[in-house]
Amino acid sequence: MPPLVLYKIPFIGHTFSYLFDCKEFLKQCRKEYGDIFSLYIWGQVKTFVGKEHAHEVLARDDAFDFGIVAVRKLPIDAMFVNGFGDSRYNIMAVKEYISKKLELYTERMQESLHLSIQRYIGKCEEPKVHDHLYKFLSKVIAAPIANIFIGESEEIITTFAEFTSSLFIFYAIPPVLDFVYPGLQDYVNRIPVRLGLYDPSARQRSMLIKHIKNQVDKRLREKQEYQDSWKRPNDLLQDFIEEKLFDPNKPNYNAIADKMAFFIFASIHTTSRASTYVLIDLASRPEYIQELYEEQLEIHKETDKNGILPIEAFNKMNKLDSFVKESLRLNENIAGLSHLTLKDYTFSNGLQIPKDHIF
Ligand code: HEM
């Protein structure tokens, strides 16, 4: 088993050091106990895996599950009848329905992003102030994501942009009740949602269901009407409609909305947060701006087709790629990226972790 770092205050364990001095505290623990060690936080023993072994956790999805822990704090089961789906299905869907089709989506995403920037920034003849960069970027990013998920409309873009932040309130509640019994805080957080007293994402969810119903009915009707001349919409919604379990005679709009909600949850917040970090890093390191700008000009000169770049052009943006990766490396909260062990696991350094343990 990984060594448990010594602590002085019973019950509280390492909670305060983790909460108020996380970076330095984890650095010190790693120095004294090695790359893998356990801490006693919020009434539970949690194991931390350092950079030498973290790749094992990320690569072995047969042994470690990210999804279960990531959504445990959210009362998803009380809000979404079908939960947030199964990790394996979600990973398959990202690969088959999104990653493999990126070539098909690149042009649309660029056009949509361009329109979105025009809408929210415009020509900027007069200076504009956006005092909440993350919220502003979520709106910009929601447009191309909505475009490839479900087709765009003003209403649905706003729903996409607001959906994740409406759920984040649950991440902000400190799990103090877990000191009494592990998991008690999550249980208590669900009570007002279950009783129908509080549901921060209710408006966005009903908007999503309404939009999905309109789209599904329209697509089924038009397919019937136009037969062979029907033009298949290319987006995630259409992929869901064409799955074996979908019954065109009795569409389950709520089930599709639940599936879609997971993808909105996984994509908008991560992309908006990463873009916010990158922009702040760029603004605070102006010495890189000219070099990155020149790389963009060069690639546009070589590959631009009527203002649209082919997918291969993105692979040539080496300097931008390094800048973004470095920003992600420095800013992402890797210690908070919890996983659950699905089976007993032995790390390459010989340390063993039992099933159902949280990382
Ligand atoms: C800059 C943007 C993004 C960042 C930084 C990011 C980061 C991550 C991280 C760290 C994980 C956990 C991996 C693991 O521990 O196994 C993850 C999982 C995942 N992400 Fe992303 N992501 C981003 C964008 C997206 C987008 C755009 C989508 C969907 C279109 C997406 C869908 C997923 C899915 C389906 C999973 C697996 C969830 C599960 O295990 O149930 N992500 N992402």
Tell me the CA–centroid distance for residue 8 and ligand 1, in Å.
Answer: 37
**CATH number for position 38:** 3.30.43.20
Q: Are residues 256 and 349 in the same domain?
A: no
Spatial CA neighbour of 207 closest among 257, 250, 248: 257
**Cα–Cα nearest to 84, from 105, 102, 67:** 67
Quick one: 42 and 90 in the same domain? no
Q: Is 179 among the domain residues?
A: no
- Output the residue whose Cα is nearest ligand 1's atom 12: 66
Nearest residue (by CA) to ligand 1, atom 39, is: 67
My answer on whether 62 and 79 are in the same domain is no
Question: Is 129 part of any domain?
Answer: yes
Taking the C-alpha atoms of residue 307 and residue 107, their distance in angstroms, rounded to an integer, is: 10
Q: Is the CB–ligand 1 distance for residue 2 below 6 Å?
A: no
State the Cα–Cα distance between residues 225 and 208, nearest whole angstrom: 26
Tokens of 163: 């959906």
Residue whose CB lies within 8 A of the most ligand 1 atoms, among 53, 92, 94, 323, for a mutation test: 94
76 neighbors 206 (Cβ within 8 angstroms): no
In a domain, 261, yes or no: yes
Rg of the chain in Å (alpha carbons): 23
* Last residue in a domain, options 259, 284, 309: 284
* Pair (53, 100) in one structural domain: no
- Number of domains forming the structure of the chain: 2
In short, whether 133's Cβ falls inside 6 Å of ligand 1 is: no
Q: By alpha-carbon position, which residue is closest to atom 32 of ligand 1?
A: 266
Domain boundary among 284, 301, 316: 284
Same domain, yes or no, for 210 and 97?
yes
What CA–CA distance (Å, rounded) separates 215 from 222? Answer: 10
| Nearest alpha carbon, ligand 1 atom 10 | 337
Based on the domain organization, do 162 and 264 belong to the same domain? yes
Tell me, yes or no, whether 12 lies in a domain: yes
Q: Which two tokens stand for residue 10?
A: 């019973």
Range of the domain at 108: 75-174+197-284
Query: Both 164 and 271 in a single domain?
Result: yes
**With a 6 A CB cut-off, is 44 part of the ligand 1 pocket?**
no
For residue 290, being part of any structural domain is answered with no
Distance (angstroms) between ligand 1 centre and the Cα of 302 equals: 32
The two beta strands, 352-353 and 345-346, are antiparallel
Sign of the alpha-carbon torsion through 178, 184, 186, 190: negative
Atom of ligand 1 minimally distant from the CA of 98: 30
One domain for residues 217 and 159: yes
Binding site membership of 87 for ligand 1 (Cβ less than 6 Å): yes
Which pLDDT value is given to residue 83? 67
| Position 240 in a domain | yes
Q: Euclidean distance between the first and final Cα of the chain, in Å?
A: 13
Answer whether 42's CB lies under 8 Å from 173's CB. no
- Note whether 123 and 264 are same-domain residues: yes
DSSP 288-320: GHHHHHHHHHHHHHHH-BTTB--HHHHHT-HHH
Angstrom distance (rounded) from CA 179 to CA 19: 15
Pair (268, 349) in one structural domain: no
Judge if 162 and 245 occupy the same domain. yes
Residue 309: both structure tokens together: 């770049």
β-pair partners for 47: 38
161 and 270 co-located in one domain: yes
DSSP string, 1-65: -PPBPP-SSTTTTTHHHHHHSHHHHHHHHHHHH-SEEEEEETTEEEEEE-TTTHHHHHH-TTTEE
Q: Is residue 251 domain-resident?
A: yes
- Which of 253, 284, 315 terminates a domain? The answer is 284
pLDDT for res 325:
96
Walk along the chain (359 residues) in steps of 10 and give the mean pLDDT of each run. 93 94 95 96 93 92 86 80 77 94 92 90 85 91 92 80 81 90 91 88 89 95 94 95 94 92 89 95 96 95 84 94 96 86 93 87
What pLDDT shows up at residue 20? 93
Pick the atom of ligand 1 nearest to 90's CA: 35
Helical segments of the chain, H only: 15-20, 22-33, 54-59, 67-72, 76-79, 87-93, 102-120, 133-149, 154-167, 169-172, 184-194, 202-226, 236-241, 253-284, 289-303, 311-315, 318-331
pTM as predicted? 0.88
Output phi, psi for 346, to 5 deg: -110, 120
Rounded distance between C-alpha atoms, residue 172 and residue 99, angstroms = 32
d(CA 164, CA 138): 10
In a domain, 210, yes or no: yes
